[in-house]
Amino acid sequence: MPLANTFISEGRFFSINMPYQTWQFGERRMRIPWKFAVIASVLLLAQCMFADQITLQNGDRLSGTIVKSDGKTLVIKTDYAGEVTVKWPAIEQIQSSGALHVGLKSGQTIAGPVTTSNGSIEVEAPSQPPVTVAKDAVTFIRDPEEEAAYEKSLHPGLLHGWDNSANVSFAVTRGNSETKNLALAYTGDRKTLHDHLGLYANSVFASNDAPGAVPSTTANSTQGGARYDHDFDSRLFGFGGADFQTDALQELNLRSVFSGGAGFHAIKSDRTTLDLLAGGNYTRENYTTLQRNLAALTLGEELTKKLGASTIVTEKLYGYPDLNEAGQYRATFNFGTVTKLSKWLGWQNAFGDIYVTNPPAGKKQNDILLTTGLNISFKH
């Protein structure tokens, strides 16, 4: 007497009559030897057996491949819904078919298959007794690919890990007035666990093209520089940097500033960072009418704040008291915002002020720069 089994797959039913071979898909029928039906059933069962599985507190189950967890959420990759993110407290049980890397609050990392028992996490490390810890003692879980990527991120190549952005704005008028204005800027940041390398450059050019206008060039300034930070611990870091500036209207051919010192992470969180810096610098200024070299202090603070999900605010204030001549100093202030319009496009606003107490005769002490325009971000 034939045996009958009925399976449901993706909303359709099919039946198998064994030992002979009737398969029914909706209204279509196929006759297949019963051995093939057995093989198909075994393959389906094996797929379930070798998949990772999590059980939620409401009884729901998800099968797939556990990718990672940060102790707050867990990501599991399923065949039917792609990557699914589940809140960590909502997970009742975990069962992995392969080894996972599990990090503990004690700083220890264990690799092995993971199961849960009585609300605790159990990791079966090779050649070691199983390790059982409380669920809230787990700081991260990574599959082998995520662990390899993490290990690589600890020592990235110099050309990797960059977060870059470029700003551009252009304006032109014709008719009663004839002007043009171009502003360009670039920033690049490369952060690792203990190092930070930052690059920046900006340039502004403006002209009055009206016949007989004096001066015809109303702005022509370029700035650029780099700074490297290295963390000694979670709060203290050392820094070294170089900054360069030209300003045609101030008759500044080149100002070179080489600085170094120590800094303190007063605030260091996902949404806010506040750094305090102190050190010294050597400055060389080349004006059309004079040249001077001076040693000065470097005192400053830098603030970065995330407002909501799309806006970042940055602010920097530095003072450079002259050690050669008492009472003389240079100060810089920068404030900017970037609001993301899409993954790679944003809108930026920037304000900058450079104050010098002793500019060349006939030149003003303040140089103020205000720009707005599109921000393009890209990573490498």
Q: How far apart are CA 283 and CA 244, in angstroms?
A: 10
Q: Are residues 75 and 129 in the same domain?
A: yes
Q: Is the pLDDT of residue 20 over 50?
A: no
Q: Are residues 340 and 329 in the same domain?
A: yes
Q: Are residues 57 and 145 in the same domain?
A: yes
Q: Give the chain's domain count.
A: 3
The tens digit of pLDDT for each residue in 202-261 reads 999 999 888 877 778 888 999 999 999 999 998 999 999 999 999 998 889 999 999 999
- The predicted pLDDT at position 11 comes to 42
Closest by Cα among 170, 173, 171, 203 to 186: 203
Looking at per-residue confidence, does 109 or 20 come out higher? Answer: 109
* Mean pLDDT, rounded, for 277-292: 93
- The predicted pLDDT at position 296 comes to 94
* Mean pLDDT, rounded, for 195-199: 91
Q: Are residues 188 and 316 in the same domain?
A: yes
Do residues 216 and 208 touch, judged by C-beta distance below 8 A?
A: yes
* Mean pLDDT, rounded, for 286-305: 93
Residue that finishes a domain, picked among 118, 153, 188:
153
- The predicted pLDDT at position 37 comes to 53
Q: CATH number for the domain including 352?
A: 2.40.160.40
- The predicted pLDDT at position 231 comes to 94
- The predicted pLDDT at position 32 comes to 52
Closest by Cα among 197, 205, 128, 117 to 161: 197
Confidence category of residue 282, pLDDT binned at 50, 70, 90: very high
Q: Are residues 105 and 212 in the same domain?
A: no
Listed range (155-164, 173-182, 302-311, 350-359) with the worst mean pLDDT? 155-164
If DSSP codes are grouped into helix, strand and coil, which group holds residue 44? helix
* Mean pLDDT, rounded, for 290-318: 93
Confidence category of residue 12, pLDDT binned at 50, 70, 90: very low
Q: Are residues 236 and 132 in the same domain?
A: no
The tens digit of pLDDT for each residue in 76-97 reads 998 888 899 999 888 888 898 8
Residues 6 or more apart whose Cβ sits within 8 Å of residue 273:
265, 267, 302, 303, 304
Q: Are residues 248 and 362 in the same domain?
A: yes
- The predicted pLDDT at position 307 comes to 92
- The predicted pLDDT at position 318 comes to 95
Q: Are residues 148 and 189 in the same domain?
A: no
Do residues 177 and 211 touch, judged by C-beta distance below 8 A?
A: no
Q: Are residues 140 and 171 in the same domain?
A: no
Q: How far apart are CA 367 and CA 248, in angstroms?
A: 12
Residue that finishes a domain, picked among 104, 125, 153:
153
The tens digit of pLDDT for each residue in 85-136 reads 999 888 888 898 888 999 888 888 889 999 987 778 888 888 788 888 888 8
Would the pTM of this model clear 0.75, i.e. be above it?
no
User: Which structural domain range is residue 327 located in?
Assistant: 162-379
Q: How far apart are CA 113 and CA 122, in angstroms?
A: 8
Q: Are residues 101 and 140 in the same domain?
A: yes
Sign of CA dihedral 368, 372, 376, 379: positive
- The predicted pLDDT at position 379 comes to 75
Confidence category of residue 2, pLDDT binned at 50, 70, 90: very low
* Residue 37 backbone dihedrals phi, psi, to 5 degrees: -65, -40
Q: Are residues 302 and 170 in the same domain?
A: yes
Mean pLDDT score across all residues of the chain: 83
Q: Are residues 224 and 286 in the same domain?
A: yes
Residue that finishes a domain, picked among 125, 153, 181:
153
Highest mean pLDDT (candidates 145-149, 165-169, 296-300): 296-300
Q: Is the pLDDT of residue 331 over 90?
A: yes
* Residue 48 backbone dihedrals phi, psi, to 5 degrees: -70, -40
